[in-house]
Structure formats: structure tokens, C-alpha cells
Structure 1
């Protein structure tokens, strides 16, 4: 009976260890309320997971606004407020790139990013793109449409490995493939916007900067999540983010994880 008892004790120890490990749930969201996804649905998800900590995709100023009842419009904060009302001891923190919006404006990434995509679209409709560029743009638009259809389904459908892969393909199409068009075509070097400091920046340069910022922002968000997990061990943490970010955050968390936490899905 010695060995069965030893095996039982090992299993018990492993179980206790797993019970005391930090759990992270990265929930991809649709920010605006729609019939298939609204604050009540997200609240029910939170109430099922019962997190100790909720992380919001805002910076410290955005979190301060939330706490002061400013800009309470999106699904995440409405559901979070309902959860906090039921569980007042819940902690909430921001995890986004600090000063995100102003950072992008100051460097001219905004509005050159959207203006560049609009220009590509107008060139496409005017049949002025080269065949290889047409292929790139159609891949981008087709993948976008595919995700829009998935976003009409229940949240499990835009929170899984398959959809994560489609999101990665779509974002790669935007920030790597479309960049090939803006870098090659002269139209993007001849159109400019004026930055807050009065300097001009071309569509080409602004779009290139935004493409790099996609990586920087997501990597920073993952580090911020990791730091919260490190500071608050053995807790359940729910990360509320746009579902296009989910694949990148999960990939980064898995890369930097040193065994301090486990990643779970809300429906497991």
C-alpha cells in the first residue's frame, strides 16, 4: 500500500498547487453593444469565471475616467461595473499602452492610417492597383468580412484558436501586406497630414509607423498583464480586450510565462 499512498499524495500536492496558481482569462470583445453581444452577456461570463481582478483595455487616464463615471459606453465597462456592484472587493486596472491615443496623434500615425487604407480602396475601385496589389487588398477585405460574420455569433465563436488564427491573418494583411502597397506606390509619398507640432508627415511614413506600433502596443499590453499577475499572485484575472488583439496577447503571454500562471478560456 506504500506506493499507491505515495502516488495519491503526489496527485494531491499537484492539485493543491494548481488551485493556488494564477489564472488568466483573455476575453476578446466587441466594444459596442449588438444583439449577440451586450453588457448582460459579458456580465454573465464574468459571473461564471468570478475574477478577483479585471483588466481593461485603456490607459491610466481611461481607467480614471471609468472610475469617475466618464465615457461609460462600451460593453466592457458596463459589464465590469455590474460585476463590481455585485462583488465590491474586485480589483480593476488598466493595461493598455500609456497615452496611446496622444502618442499616435503626435507621431502622425493618426489619421494617416485610415487615410492610407481609404486611398488603397479608392485605387482598387478605380482599377489602378497592380495585380499583386489587388491580391493583397482583396485578401485583407475578404478576411475582414470573414471576421465580421464570426462577430455576429456567440462569444465562444470569437474566442477560440480558429478565430485567433483568422485575426492574426487579418492583422498581418493590414500591417505587413498593405504596407507593401504604401511603400511601393508614389501616391502615398505625395499626400501629407500635419502633426500637432506643425510638421508634415506623408501617408507612407505615417502608415509605416502605425504598422510598427501594432507590435509595440500588443507587446506592451502583454507585459502589463504579466506585471499585474506577478504583483497579485494566485488570483483569477480577466483581461477584457478587443477580439482582434486576443491572438497577439495570448501569444506574448505564453512566450513570457515563467510558470507563474495558467491561461484558461471562460467556457472551459
Structure 2
């Protein structure tokens, strides 16, 4: 038994070491793609903090590459990057001690965007600071309420009732519109360029989609006896999106206040972009900053 355990430990250690090496080699390959070039500087009399809300994809697609994001950020030339992560996770990333995730990513056929872009940018721009702005309780909230698993089951249950023609006409209209918005977003994700996920049209689609999934669908759940087992979960689920995004916006505002007259890039999964822009715009004058178009 002891020999078997030792063998398993050796195998796991070997896999981990190979994974980390593979991940680091792939990251270094990306760094070599970066071509040093003079940055275009634009003079401005506006000394207010400039905030760029940059919606991202977490992984490369056929049309969105991390080099594209690097070049975008490099042209903006931020002195601060706000990273969609909690403080503990970001500390591991910056110190390159996120070993578990490096091993996992090494054996996936996907290329990350935010992490290698950020790490490469700060290596080439030593004065740039990377700070977290994620809702610190997000992961705890997810674990406590089994958010992903339970929400998936709940939404699928509503969609199933719709496919069986058991919903009212009004409820069915809501579900059909939600599915239509999902199809639009899937097409955007498949074919999008950076500009496509950073514009007001996509923001509007996402705003509608998130309203349906976090408000209208849960309202259907509360009205259906067949879905009574989800009633204790509905309020938890409905509150999540607002709680998280408002916390993220407040964390961004805190850094804006602490860092006047700076250029700040806020990296975010593009589903959050519309919410962060709407929330931050309320405070532009009070905190003396400007949200810049990309």
C-alpha cells in the first residue's frame, strides 16, 4: 500500500511539474510575440483620471487573440490595471504561485487572455501597478449557495416547462426572448472582435439578457408550483448579480479616489462591462474621472 501511495505521489508530482513547465513555456512564447514599438502619445489638458473599461474574453477565439488585447492596453498605456480577481488570488498570480491553475490550464486546449497579457505588460512597464477589484466574498457566496449548480438546474427547469407548453403566454414570451438573446450572444462570442465586445450594442444585449436571467426568470419560478423546490434559492440568486457588480464598482471607485490623475484600465469579462459603466458614470463628477471610449 505504501509503495502504491508513493507511486501515485510521484506520478502527480511529475504531472504537476510538467504542467507548470508547459504553462511557463507557452507564456514565454507569447512574450516573444510582443514587438517593442513607439507608443502614440496624445497631449491633453484634462488632468482628470481616465478610466478605460476593457471587456475581455477569458480565452482566445478565432478572432480575438491575447496579442490584440496586449496591443490595445499598450496603446492606452495605463499606470494602473484593475484585475477581475480577489486580493488573495491576484497575489498568487503576480507572484506566479498559482500552481494549481497553471497545471490545469497547461493541459487545456485553450489560451488564457487576461493573465498573460497583464503579466507581460507589467514586465515591460515596471511603473504599472496591478490591483484587485473583485467582490471579495464571491467565491464564498458561490460555495455556500452552490450557485452555479443550482442556478443551472433552476433555469433548465423553467426552459423545460416552456418546451412542454406548460407556461402562460406571458411567461413563454419571456423565455423565448431570453433564448433569443442567448443566441445573439453566442454568435457574438464566436465571431467577435475586440470592438464587438466593447460597444454599446453588445452592452445593450447583455443588459437585457442579464435582466431576464436574474429577474424575469426567477419571477416565473416564484409563480410556478412545479418549481417550488427552488423558492428558497430565488432571492439568493436574484441578489447575486447586483451585489457582485455593485461591490466591484465600489472597489474601482476606491482606487480612482486613491489614484487621482492616472490612466486606469479595468479588465473585466465583457458580461460585466455595461453594469460597471452604468454604475461608475454616476460618480464621474464627484470623483473627478472620465470613462473613456475604446
Q: TM-score, normalised by structure 2?
A: 0.76
Say if 2:204 is the partner of 1:165: yes
Equivalent residue runs for 1:141-220 within 5 Å: 141-151=179-189, 152-190=191-229, 203-220=230-247
Q: Is the contact made by 1:108 and 1:206 (CA closer than 8 Å) also made in structure 2?
A: no
Q: Give the match for residue 10 of structure 1.
A: none
Return the offset for 1:64: 1.9
Deviations 1:46-83 (A, max 9, x none): 11111111111111122123123323553111111111
Name the SS for the 1:234 alignment partner: coil
Q: How big is the shift at 1:30?
A: 1.2
1:38 matched to 2:65? The reply is: yes
| Post-superposition CA distance 1:94-133 (Å, at most 9, x none) | 1010031112321353422111112122222333322222
Report the counterpart of residue 250 of structure 2 in structure 1.
223
Give the corresponding residue for 1:195. none
From 111, 130, 135, give the equivalent of 2:173.
135
Is 2:86 the partner of 1:59?
Answer: yes
- 8 Å CA contact 2:256–2:287 kept in 1: the answer is no
Q: Which runs of 5+ in 1 are unaligned?
A: 1-14, 191-202
TM-score (norm 1): 0.83
| Greater displacement, 88-97 / 73-82 | 73-82
C-alpha contact (below 8 Å) 2:206/2:274 kept by paired residues: yes
Q: For the structure 1 residues 52 and 214, does the alpha-carbon distance in structure 2 shift closer, same or farther, using more than 3 Å as the test?
A: same
Query: What is the root-mean-square deviation in Å for CA atoms of aligned residues?
Result: 1.6
Question: How far apart are residue 259 of structure 1 and its match?
Answer: 4.7
Report the equivalent of 2:121.
83
Q: Provide Cα deviations, 1:195-243, integer angstroms capped at 9, x if missing partner.
A: xxxxxxxx23223312111111111111100110111111110001111
| Structure 2 counterpart SS, 1:127 | coil
Hey, what does 1:247 align to over in structure 2? 274
Distance in structure 1 (CA, Å) of the matches to 2:88 and 2:228 = 35
Contact 1:24 1:238 in 2 (8 A): yes
Equivalent residues of 1:109, 1:207 under 8 A apart: no
Moved over 6 A (4+): none
In the alignment of these two chains, the number of paired residues is 238
Q: Find the aligned partners of 1:153 and 1:234 in 2 and give their Cα distance.
A: 33
**Mapped contact 1:105–1:111 kept (Cα < 8 A):** no
